[in-house]
Amino acid sequence: SYILILKAFLQLASWKERLEVFSTCVAHICMVLAFYVPLIGLSVVHRFGKDLAPLVHITLGNVYILVPTVLNLIICRVRTKQIQRILISI
């Protein structure tokens, strides 16, 4: 599916449309990473961290629950035009 998206992206005529589509793709990739990176970390610690303190497992479990939710909100907010204008002016 990503190949089809890339093919459609390259067929767009104007640069403005390309930037908008590219922004959407980057936001999507960030969201996928926000969900999978904590999951992989938690899985690795669960598999190989048998000797670690229980606090490490609890902390990573909480990170797995909280980080994707918070990053989802941040990524969606950054994509709005008003915040983009504020960030550009800063």
At residue 36, what is the residue type? Y
In which band, very low, low, confident or very high, does the pLDDT at 83 lie, cut at 50, 70 and 90?
A: low
Q: CA–CA separation, 32 vs 26, rounded Å? A: 10
- Cβ-in-10-Å burial (0-12, 13-18, 19+) of 54 comes to exposed
| 79 or 55: which leads in pLDDT | 55
State residue 20's pLDDT score: 74
Tens of pLDDT, residues 1-13: 677 877 877 787 7
CB atoms within 10 A of CB 35: 15
Q: CA–CA separation, 31 vs 80, rounded Å? A: 16
- Residue bearing tokens 């939710």: 69
Tens of pLDDT, residues 23-78: 777 778 888 888 899 889 889 998 998 899 999 999 989 988 998 888 888 877 77
